[in-house]
Amino acid sequence: MNQQRISLTMIVRNESAHLANCLESVKNEVDEIVIVDTGSIDDTVSIAQRYTQTYFLSLGKLF
């Protein structure tokens, strides 16, 4: 029987003030964390990389 997995995917930009608390609160509840960054210039990248290796930088227009 296939076991279902839960992935958390976040689109972020300059969220260093909140990202660590957010990821810390869910890290044991999800199987995978995926971060898509839209061009942060703060510590968002280094914080995200403490919680996942699945990190993407998107400089294209998302919205």
| Tens of pLDDT, residues 1-54 | 688 999 999 999 999 999 999 999 999 999 999 999 999 999 999 999 999 999
**pLDDT band of 57, cuts 50, 70, 90:** confident
Q: What is the pLDDT of residue 2?
A: 81
Q: What is the pLDDT of residue 21?
A: 98
User: Which of helix, strand or coil describes residue 62?
Assistant: coil
Q: What is the pLDDT of residue 62?
A: 55
Q: What is the pLDDT of residue 55?
A: 87
Q: DSSP per residue over 4-55, as a string?
A: P--EEEEEESS-TTTHHHHHHHHTTT-SEEEEEES---SSHHHHHHHH-S-E
Tokens read off for 2: 């296939």
Q: What is the pLDDT of residue 32?
A: 95
Torsion of CA 38, 39, 44, 45, to 10 degrees: 100
